[in-house]
Amino acid sequence: MRRILIDSVTHGPLTEPPPQPDAAMLAELAASLERASRAKLGRSLSIREVDAGSCNGCELEIHALGNAFYDLERLGLHFVASPRHADVLLVTGPVTRNMREALERTYNATPDPKWVVAVGDCAVDGGIFAASYAVAGGVNAVVPVDLHIRGCPPPPAEILKGLIALMTTAR
Ligand code: SF4
């Protein structure tokens, strides 16, 4: 008995050393953990709204997204006061000549990666104001647009659909 005790103290264990984790398995686990963490934590977008010359009809529908019925914040969508905090520029209206520079500066102030969503028929191509001398064109005429949400104005549910589609593909 004494010898067994001395042997167990002076020699290491006789069992096999544990194998090192497999690199491919670790990579698979890391990918699935990343997917899970994105699903839990990465589903949010910060939105800066820019009225580039709208009649305010589109804004009324966008404001409705914050009411108790649509409650967009529960979905991880937030309006922010500065383009520097934004992932998405939500732009309404035809771009008037007076607002052109403001839209360009807002776009340049938004950090990459960023997305531009044009809301309403006017934002697509100028809509009913397209022929006006005061209009530079749709949003695409001034900054690159990633998503168009059509309608005059588009209802809140349509705007929400577009934002959710963006949130699920952009991340
Ligand atoms: S799309 Fe319609 S509601 Fe929106 S700014 Fe143009 S005219 Fe107004």
* Distance in Å, CA 92 to ligand 1 centroid: 8
Q: What atom in ligand 1 is closest to the CA of residue 152?
A: 2
User: Going by C-beta distance under 8 Å and a sequence separation of 6 or more, which residues neighbour residue 149?
Assistant: 117, 118, 119, 120, 158, 159, 162
The token duo for 6 is 């001395």
Cite the beta strand spans of the chain per DSSP E.
45-51, 77-79, 88-92, 95-96, 115-119, 135-137, 147-149
Ligand 1 center–CA 53 separation, angstroms:
9
Whole-number Å distance, alpha carbon 101 to ligand 1 midpoint, is 21
The Cβ of residue 32 has, within 10 Å, a number of other Cβ atoms equal to: 10
Higher local confidence (pLDDT), 111 or 26: 111
Q: Is 95 in the pocket of ligand 1 (CB under 6 A)?
A: no
85 Cα to the center of ligand 1, angstroms: 26
Answer whether 54 contacts ligand 1 (Cβ < 6 A): yes
Atom of ligand 1 nearest to the CA of 58: 4
- pLDDT tens string 60-97: 999 999 999 999 999 999 999 999 999 999 999 999 99
Confidence band for 135, pLDDT divided at 50, 70 and 90: very high
Ligand 1 contact, 93 CB (< 6 A) = yes
133-137: average pLDDT: 94
pLDDT reported for residue 10: 78
Helix (H, G, I), strand (E, B) or coil at 147: strand
Cα of 107 vs centre of ligand 1, distance in Å, is 21
- List helix spans (H) across 42-170: 57-64, 97-109, 121-125, 156-170
Predicted local distance difference test score (pLDDT) of residue 36: 61
Average pLDDT over residues 89-109: 97
Angle at 95 between CA 89 and CA 96, to 5 degrees: 140
153 CB less than 6 Å from ligand 1? Answer: yes
Query: Mean pLDDT throughout 150-166?
Result: 92
pTM over 0.85: no
Strand order across the beta sheet in which 115-119 lies: 77-79, 45-51, 88-92, 115-119, 147-149
Question: pLDDT tens across 11-64, in order?
Answer: 776 777 766 777 777 777 677 666 665 565 467 899 999 999 999 999 999 999
What's the confidence (pLDDT) of residue 165?
Answer: 86
